[in-house]
Structure 1
Amino acid sequence: MNSPIRPDRPWQRPAGAAADSDFIDLKKIWHAIWSRKWGIVLLVAAVTVIAAILVARMTPIYKSIATVLIEHEGTPVLSFQPTPDARTELSEYLQTQLSLMQSRGVAAKVVRDLNLTEHPEFDLRQQSKPLVDIGAIVRSLTGEETEPYTEAEIMDYATRVLMDRTAVWVEGKSQLVYLSISMADRLTAAQATNQLAQAYIEAQLEAKVDMSMTAASWMNDRLASLRENLQASEDRLQEYLDAEGLVDLEGVNTISANELSLTGDRMIDARRQRAEAESQYRQVESMRSQGWERLASVPAVLGHPLIQQFKADQAHARSRVEDLSRRYGDRHPAMVSARSDLNAATASLRQQVEQVVASIERNYQLAVANENSLKASFNENKGRIQDISRKEFKVRDLQRQVESDRALYDTFMTRLQETTATSDLSTTNARIVDEAIPPAEPSAPNGTLIMAVAIFLALVLGIAQAIIREILDNTFKSSEEVEAKLNLPVMGIVPQVPRKLRKEVSHLFERSGDKRFCEAVRTIRTNLLLSETGQPRQVLVITSTAPGEGKSSVSANLAFAMGQLHRVLLIDADLRRATLDKSFDFKPGTPGLVNLIGGNAKLEDCIQTVGNVDMIAAGAVPSNPLELLSSPRFAKLIEALKARYDRIIIDSPPSQAVSDAAVLSKLADAVIYVVKSDSTLIPHVQKGVSQLQNSSAPITGVVLNHVDVEKARKNGQFRGYYDHYGYSEQTV
């Protein structure tokens, strides 16, 4: 005999149960994908078919490409215009030209040249209208007439469409520009591409011609203004020369400079002479109060030749007097004559000294006067030269203004003549290298790529949906999960019944319809019997969380399994949704539990025997099922039945739907909780079990019902023969 599966048996848990919860189980992900493989395949197939239909219905688009060589901008029209900065990158220039190619003006010229406003792809009047035109409906209801499109609107629409379908690009660092237009009409696409390239080149030529004409017009206006400025500057120069009486300004300036130089030299000499005279004069003046004898000793006086001569005469006379005085007396005639000569020499010397002193004074006065005269003459010449210099500066300024105006006038005159002569010889720096030809194959749609992307996205979406469903699937899939989440032993695992046998699921054990199912029921019976330590569990209540989990089929088949060993009674206590009478084809109106509790029928009339099992159906649907099950009459009925039967199996309503299960559990010796695999949410089951446990229900274990064994085996949740068949070999 088998013992029930218990959570304290580690060998019954999966190998990775103790692993880290953050560990990504790739095998589990693969099983999740594989278990939903047909859904993924169906999604991919549906998307593939839809994508194929859409690709088949798409209008093929042809792209025609032309190649244009664009060289860097050449020399400007006017040489005095600022030249382009050599540091400017060629790519910046090309980017500017690319924008000009896609400009509205070039596109509009192509539309006009090719008359694209009449082409179906560009004509606003030929465009398809929406299925539901709200504006048209409103106008029809209000009686307002639809206004036709104007020429400006048609032209604007065609231009915008052409701009949207135009692409321009440069490959690498070359100066080759690729121009393309995409259209459904391949011939028109090639024609429009070539016309667009030609329109761009013509627009460049027209722009240069316009620039030349604009420059010529501007230079004409500027030339007249320059002519007036030159004439005005020449008039100002002549008026100034006439007003100042200037003829040869350079000659006058040279003569005045020579005169100033000579006067300066003479003034230097006069200043030196005046200094010498002033020195002599100061010496004489300092000795004047000390007598003429002191004056005679002044170097300026003493150095005079006459003074020296007179001094020599005086010395000679004095020497004669001294010689005679030693021989004669004072009254000697010789002495008197000698003294007379001495006095005469002294008087002459004094007179000569006075004359020399007077001469020194005159020389000093003359030197001062000469110096002042020369200084005045120098200052006069200097002022004259400064005045001439100022006039020269003014004349030079007027002459420079005249020369500048004349040079600018001559430059503009020359450039105007050049521009006028070459205005019709403008060239462009762009030329068509390869003209566009009608493409043989459409460029869009890329059916292969679209199909590949659609299939890939569908596959990714299907896999993601499978993984997300697996992650969000919060249901029980294995006995290990049941034991871990509910902390209750699993009494058995009931496999999923083949679809053709589901209508007879309540008779499977009785008729041995499915071996795996029957072995699973025997396992439940065995585990239930093994769980009885000494006192038999006579009253067994079977319930579930919600309807549809298979509690009634488990109850019926377990009753037949128990019937092989004991006298068994099966009671349908689900008074709201009775199934026993339908499953076993009881006659309509067969009295049941409701009639028995209400005292409207006898026990023998309510008991129906099927095989080796007695059954009591629910009977008529009551208005107060909970009150009936809670009544003392029902408790007395169970006590009476316990005397007649070894096992009483009660099919209880779901625990989450109503409170009947909690009431029935008070009369039970054991409660088996049925959980549908991959169906009932774990929180709901936990809540139902918790409610029964709060009511002190003797929950013995859990039956995991409707298990897809093949799927579980592929997912690695069952690992052997006994797992598949509920330990059948030990319980036969």
Structure 2
Amino acid sequence: MLSLVRALWRGKLWIVLAVLIALGWGWYRANIAAVPLYTAQTVVAMETRDENVLDLAGVVTGLPGTLGTINTELGVLRSRGLVEKLVVALDLAADPDFAPRPLAVPEDGAATPGTAAEITAETGPETGTVTDALARDAAAGDTTARRRLDAVIDRVLSRLWVGVVPDSYLFQIAATTANAEKSALIANTHARLYIEDQIEVKYRATEQATAWLTDRLGTLQTELEEAESAVEAFATENRITRSEDLELMNQRVDDARDRLAELETRTATLTARRDALDAAAAARDWAAAMAVAGDPTLDRLIERGASDGDIAERLDIARARLDVSQARAAEQRATLEESIDVLRADYARQSDNLVAYQQLEREVMASRTIYEYFLGRLKELSAQQGNLRADSRIVSPAAVPASPSSPVKMRIYTVMLFIGLVVGAGIVLPWELLHTGLRTGPELEAATGRPVMGQIPLVPRSEKREVLSYFVDKPTSMAAEAVRNLRTSIVMSNVDQAPQVIMLTSSLPDEGKTTTAIALAQNFTGLGKRVLLIEGDIRHRVFRDYLDLKKTKGLLAVLSGQLELSQAVERNYLIDADVLVGERAAMNAADVFSSARFRNLIAEARRAYDVVIIDTPPVLLVPDARVVAKLADAVIYAVEWNATSKRDVTAGLRLMSDGGIRVTGLALTRINVRKLKRYGETIGYGSYSTHGKYSATYHEV
């Protein structure tokens, strides 16, 4: 988030420019281009209470206060049908704000009028208003008139707003036009037409219900008369028994069934006695015969011990008596069963007649009830026709607005301010995202994970040879302080033993490492150190561009044995240090620096000098720096401010790390202090930068 804020701050000028342009355009729209519009609002309340003066149920009941009802009424208020009534009532087809534009000439070549004046001329003044004529033609099926009327309705709908007050039954009707009085008139008329429409709907429903009830009553009366005639005819043709008489008949049937059950039981008993008597006689079991026969004479004969013949004779008499009783019981049973069948048939017939009669009476009663209900409803509706009331009322008529509702200047300015900020940020952020350069020390440290030991600003000189003169002439300048800070950081990188051999390199050419190396050498000599400056970039030799050097032999001459180190170095009094220049090599430069002679040279330099500074080629181009770095005590990696990409820096450091080389620290070079301040950053070397207003052309360090 902090990096995003910093990115926006760096592009603040673009953002301010975008905001100013947006606000200027907003001012033009609000004060010159926009037409003032006036909004008038009417408030209508939906009545959810039934106020029935006559306490009679109406055809159309009151509106329930449900969400569905509220949404339905909103739909009615926004309906094209109601708006069409508004258009006709106010003759809006003749209003220039709503009048349809002229239509295209049809294929038959006959021009069709489209303006209000043309429609009036076509219809004539005696036909009413322009809108009346247009509505009549549309109702008659004229498609052209229908399209014109629909166009007017669409325009009115675009100027009309209908909403509901939250948590209430209040509807807001707002009209917006270029005329304040017209807006109030449209809003109030629309509300009035809505209320009249509710009454009209109820009136039409009541009329339709009355007509239907009148027609239905005639049919019901005929049905009632037919039902009553059917009851009378049935009663005449059939003997109708009362329910009480049917109950008595049913009781008689039940009594007969009880007697029949008793006869059946008696018959079964007689049969059992006859069978038992026969069995006892056959077995000459006189005791059993006595128990079954129930004949006192037989009992006495058996008790006196009469002969078997006398006993058998008496048994025959007993059996004959039982046979007579059985025959009599069978005859009684048959007679009783016949009587029961007759009673049941008569009961069923009388019961069916009674059920049919009662059904006819119920039909008469139902027909009479329905007839009386419909007759009562017809009388109720007739009484209500003059007492129909709307379900809504106007609680706050629209007043003529005193000031325009549009344009809302503050809203326009706010929106344009937001748009300007978004557009400005949209310009700045992609630029920042596409920009790959590193601008601050913390940013460089975060990208590489290594410490930034120095931040070197641009030197206000146009020639390279003037750069060192600047450091000598202005020892308290920001650039000089930055080099001193780098020197101090290098010395303190190893507290126990300060680095003696210091190597400088970079990812790519022209990143300021050479100037930094020379300035660093000049700074060390200020401490009274014996300093040797070696030009290790023998492919791209630039020391002569900075220093006035006479000798042509240098590094390679020492390595080849042609000269001793003391003979090859040249004293430069501007930096007060010895310089060993590079020479063009016939062999590969990496092989030169990998040789034992070069190692011996560095060892000899350690003995002869307090500080040895080696300027080496870029890491990403040649391997020379990685070879030399193994002999150095400190490796300083130069990164050009706002130019070298993070990818190149990390790639170069990765090559160094893969070679087992530890980079001591980074130096951010060629910092444009003025641009850095615009980005909201500073390199933090005292207050010297606040005293100089540099006007000369900068030379990149």
Pairing of 1:177-196 with structure 2 (within 5 A): 177-196=171-190
Of 511, 534, 550, the residue aligned with 2:512 is 550
Of 75, 84, 87, the residue aligned with 1:108 is 84
Contact 1:572 1:593 in 2 (8 A): no
User: 1:687 maps to which residue?
Assistant: 651
Decide whether aligned partners of structure 1 residues 32 and 261 sit closer, same or farther in structure 2, where only a CA change above 3 A counts.
Answer: closer
Over the matched positions of the two proteins, sequence identity in percent amounts to 23
Q: Given the alignment of the two structures, is residue 53 of structure 1 paired with residue 15 of structure 2, yes or no?
A: no
Query: Quick one: distance in 2 between partners of 1:376 and 1:420?
Result: 66
Query: Once the 2 structures are TM-superposed, how far is the Cα of residue 211 of structure 1 from its aligned partner?
Result: 1.5
Query: Quick one: distance in 1 between partners of 2:628 and 2:446?
Result: 24
Query: Quick one: distance in 2 between partners of 1:194 and 1:54?
Result: 33
User: 1:430 maps to which residue?
Assistant: 392
Q: Given the alignment of the two structures, is residue 230 of structure 1 paired with residue 224 of structure 2, yes or no?
A: yes
Query: Once the 2 structures are TM-superposed, how far is the Cα of residue 94 of structure 1 from its aligned partner?
Result: 3.5
User: 1:207 maps to which residue?
Assistant: 201
Q: Given the alignment of the two structures, is residue 397 of structure 1 paired with residue 369 of structure 2, yes or no?
A: no
AA aligned to 1:549 is E
Decide whether aligned partners of structure 1 residues 210 and 679 sit closer, same or farther in structure 2, where only a CA change above 3 A counts.
Answer: same
Decide whether aligned partners of structure 1 residues 38 and 154 sit closer, same or farther in structure 2, where only a CA change above 3 A counts.
Answer: farther
Q: Given the alignment of the two structures, is residue 705 of structure 1 paired with residue 682 of structure 2, yes or no?
A: no
Contact 2:639 2:649 in 1 (8 A): yes
Contact 1:629 1:664 in 2 (8 A): no
Instruction: Provide Cα deviations, 1:95-150, integer angstroms capped at 9, x if missing partner.
Output: 432332122322333244445456666567499xxxxxxxxxxxxxxxxxxxx995
Decide whether aligned partners of structure 1 residues 518 and 436 sit closer, same or farther in structure 2, where only a CA change above 3 A counts.
Answer: same
Pairing of 1:326-341 with structure 2 (within 5 A): none
Of 33, 37, 46, the residue aligned with 1:70 is 46
Pairing of 1:576-615 with structure 2 (within 5 A): 611=574
Query: Once the 2 structures are TM-superposed, how far is the Cα of residue 401 of structure 1 from its aligned partner?
Result: 0.7
Instruction: Provide Cα deviations, 1:606-631, integer angstroms capped at 9, x if missing partner.
Output: x9989468989999xx9xx9976457
Decide whether aligned partners of structure 1 residues 80 and 225 sit closer, same or farther in structure 2, where only a CA change above 3 A counts.
Answer: farther
How many residue pairs get aligned? The number is 581
Decide whether aligned partners of structure 1 residues 99 and 556 sit closer, same or farther in structure 2, where only a CA change above 3 A counts.
Answer: same
AA aligned to 2:82 is V
Query: Quick one: distance in 2 between partners of 1:583 and 1:545?
Result: 21
Unaligned 5+ residue runs, structure 1? 1-27, 128-147, 276-281, 295-361, 598-603, 725-732
Instruction: Provide Cα deviations, 1:549-602, integer angstroms capped at 9, x if missing partner.
Output: 3223313433544677668667494857x876777899xxx99999999xxxxx
Unaligned 5+ residue runs, structure 2? 104-113, 115-142, 266-272, 274-291, 302-323, 559-566, 691-701
Contact 2:548 2:572 in 1 (8 A): no
User: 1:94 maps to which residue?
Assistant: 70
User: 2:636 maps to which residue?
Assistant: 672
User: 1:8 maps to which residue?
Assistant: none
User: 1:197 maps to which residue?
Assistant: 191
AA aligned to 2:78 is Q
AA aligned to 1:442 is P
Pairing of 1:241-320 with structure 2 (within 5 A): 241-242=235-236, 245-246=237-238, 249=240, 290=297
The DSSP-based 3-state class of the residue aligned with 2:636 is strand
Query: Quick one: distance in 2 between partners of 1:125 and 1:579?
Result: 80
How large is the Cα RMSD of the aligned pairs? 6.8
AA aligned to 1:108 is E
AA aligned to 2:454 is I
Query: Quick one: distance in 1 between partners of 2:98 and 2:586?
Result: 78
Query: Quick one: distance in 2 between partners of 1:711 and 1:582?
Result: 31
Query: Once the 2 structures are TM-superposed, how far is the Cα of residue 66 of structure 1 from its aligned partner?
Result: 0.4
Decide whether aligned partners of structure 1 residues 563 and 571 sit closer, same or farther in structure 2, where only a CA change above 3 A counts.
Answer: farther
Query: Quick one: distance in 2 between partners of 1:614 and 1:126?
Result: 95
Query: Quick one: distance in 2 between partners of 1:698 and 1:262?
Result: 130
Query: Once the 2 structures are TM-superposed, how far is the Cα of residue 207 of structure 1 from its aligned partner?
Result: 1.7
AA aligned to 1:191 is L
Decide whether aligned partners of structure 1 residues 626 and 222 sit closer, same or farther in structure 2, where only a CA change above 3 A counts.
Answer: farther
User: 1:440 maps to which residue?
Assistant: 402
Decide whether aligned partners of structure 1 residues 240 and 580 sit closer, same or farther in structure 2, where only a CA change above 3 A counts.
Answer: farther
Decide whether aligned partners of structure 1 residues 672 and 61 sit closer, same or farther in structure 2, where only a CA change above 3 A counts.
Answer: same
Decide whether aligned partners of structure 1 residues 568 and 379 sit closer, same or farther in structure 2, where only a CA change above 3 A counts.
Answer: closer
Contact 2:80 2:153 in 1 (8 A): yes
The DSSP-based 3-state class of the residue aligned with 2:393 is strand
Contact 2:22 2:416 in 1 (8 A): no
Instruction: Provide Cα deviations, 1:309-341, integer angstroms capped at 9, x if missing partner.
Output: xxxxxxxxxxxxxxxxxxxxxxxxxxxxxxxxx
Instruction: Provide Cα deviations, 1:469-502, integer angstroms capped at 9, x if missing partner.
Output: 89x99958448975995667x6x52442476889
Contact 1:628 1:634 in 2 (8 A): no
The DSSP-based 3-state class of the residue aligned with 1:439 is coil
The DSSP-based 3-state class of the residue aligned with 1:427 is coil
Query: Once the 2 structures are TM-superposed, how far is the Cα of residue 715 of structure 1 from its aligned partner?
Result: 7.9
Decide whether aligned partners of structure 1 residues 395 and 696 sit closer, same or farther in structure 2, where only a CA change above 3 A counts.
Answer: closer
Query: Quick one: distance in 2 between partners of 1:32 and 1:289?
Result: 137
AA aligned to 1:440 is A
Query: Quick one: distance in 2 between partners of 1:479 and 1:428?
Result: 76
What is the TM-score normalised by the length of structure 1?
A: 0.57
Decide whether aligned partners of structure 1 residues 175 and 482 sit closer, same or farther in structure 2, where only a CA change above 3 A counts.
Answer: closer
Decide whether aligned partners of structure 1 residues 119 and 640 sit closer, same or farther in structure 2, where only a CA change above 3 A counts.
Answer: farther
Contact 2:188 2:397 in 1 (8 A): yes
AA aligned to 2:514 is S
Decide whether aligned partners of structure 1 residues 546 and 123 sit closer, same or farther in structure 2, where only a CA change above 3 A counts.
Answer: farther
AA aligned to 2:366 is S
Instruction: Provide Cα deviations, 1:622-654, integer angstroms capped at 9, x if missing partner.
Output: 9xx9976457699999999999x9788665443
Of 654, 665, 675, the residue aligned with 2:618 is 654
The DSSP-based 3-state class of the residue aligned with 1:442 is coil
Query: Once the 2 structures are TM-superposed, how far is the Cα of residue 186 of structure 1 from its aligned partner?
Result: 3.5
Query: Once the 2 structures are TM-superposed, how far is the Cα of residue 35 of structure 1 from its aligned partner?
Result: 9.4
Query: Once the 2 structures are TM-superposed, how far is the Cα of residue 402 of structure 1 from its aligned partner?
Result: 2.0
Contact 1:61 1:445 in 2 (8 A): yes
The DSSP-based 3-state class of the residue aligned with 1:672 is strand
Decide whether aligned partners of structure 1 residues 376 and 698 sit closer, same or farther in structure 2, where only a CA change above 3 A counts.
Answer: closer
Pairing of 1:502-517 with structure 2 (within 5 A): 505=467, 507-512=469-474, 515-517=477-479
Query: Once the 2 structures are TM-superposed, how far is the Cα of residue 699 of structure 1 from its aligned partner?
Result: 5.8
Decide whether aligned partners of structure 1 residues 152 and 507 sit closer, same or farther in structure 2, where only a CA change above 3 A counts.
Answer: farther
Contact 2:41 2:173 in 1 (8 A): yes
Pairing of 1:454-469 with structure 2 (within 5 A): none
Pairing of 1:335-354 with structure 2 (within 5 A): none
Decide whether aligned partners of structure 1 residues 64 and 45 sit closer, same or farther in structure 2, where only a CA change above 3 A counts.
Answer: farther
Query: Quick one: distance in 1 between partners of 2:661 and 2:645?
Result: 21
User: 1:349 maps to which residue?
Assistant: none
Query: Quick one: distance in 1 between partners of 2:217 and 2:38?
Result: 56
User: 2:281 maps to which residue?
Assistant: none
Structure 1 stretch displaced more, 703-712 or 410-419: 703-712
Query: Once the 2 structures are TM-superposed, how far is the Cα of residue 176 of structure 1 from its aligned partner?
Result: 3.4
The DSSP-based 3-state class of the residue aligned with 1:654 is coil
Instruction: Provide Cα deviations, 1:61-101, integer angstroms capped at 9, x if missing partner.
Output: 43311021321274899978899799x64555434323321
